[in-house]
């Protein structure tokens, strides 16, 4: 269940980034559209980050060595991207402009979604999600004023 959610959110982020780049390049990107696209993007990021945090356990199970190796490689890749990414993006914006760079971002997201869909496989797992548990969680949330205030402000 984790992988389809993750890939779906990557695909949704790809679509939002493509719309953002297209609207910017055509000059039709106003403040309400920008705010709406950013709100959607951050919703998609939030859901995909939750799925992303559950992905290693879904793929590697309880093998602590494999999870540690995965975490080590993930840290290396993210650190490298965190250092070299802004330099590369600055060069792209300088050379191509902001609109084409936004479209390149959506192309990179699309490539990531396709690779995740094709390459990441998890063992068959039965989800422990049930509507009854969700209903119980919502009723507990509604019943407690402190939790209700924390969840909905």
Local confidence pLDDT in tens for the 153 residues of the chain: 677 888 888 888 888 888 888 888 888 888 888 888 888 888 888 888 887 787 788 778 788 888 889 889 989 988 998 999 899 999 999 999 888 888 888 888 888 888 877 777 665 555 566 677 777 877 877 788 877 777 666
Closest CA to 38 of 51, 52, 53, 19: 19
Q: How far apart are CA 116 and CA 139, in angstroms?
A: 36
Q: How far apart are CA 56 and CA 50, in angstroms?
A: 12
Residues 6+ apart with CB under 8 A from 66: 60
Q: How far apart are CA 54 and CA 2, in angstroms?
A: 7
pLDDT score, position 76: 92
pTM beyond 0.75, yes or no: no
Burial pattern 139-149, b for ≥16 Cβ within 10 A else e, equals eeeeeeeeeee
- DSSP assignment of the chain: -HHHHHHHHHHHHHHHHHHHHHHHHHT---HHHHHHHHHHHHHHHHHHHHHHHHHHHHHHTT-HHHHHHHHHHHHHHHHHHHHHHHHHHHHHHHHH-HHHHHHHHHHHHHHHHHHHHHH-----------HHHHHHHHHHHHH-HHHHHHHH-
């Amino acid at each position: 269940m984790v992988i389809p959610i993750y890939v779906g959110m990557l695909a949704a982020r790809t679509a939002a980034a493509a719309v953002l780049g297209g609207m910017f390049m055509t000059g039709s990107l106003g403040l309400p559209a920008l705010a709406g696209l950013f709100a959607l993007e951050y919703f998609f990021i939030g859901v995909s980050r939750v799925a992303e945090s559950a992905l290693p356990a879904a793929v590697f199970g309880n093998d602590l060595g494999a999870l540690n190796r995965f975490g080590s490689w993930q840290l290396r890749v993210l650190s490298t991207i965190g250092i070299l990414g802004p330099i590369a993006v600055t060069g792209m914006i300088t050379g191509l402009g902001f609109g084409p760079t936004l479209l390149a971002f959506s192309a990179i997201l699309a490539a990531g979604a396709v690779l995740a869909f094709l390459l990441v496989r998890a063992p068959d797992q039965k989800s422990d999600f049930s509507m009854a548990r969700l209903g119980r969680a919502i009723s507990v949330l509604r019943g407690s004023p402190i939790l209700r205030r924390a969840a909905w402000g």
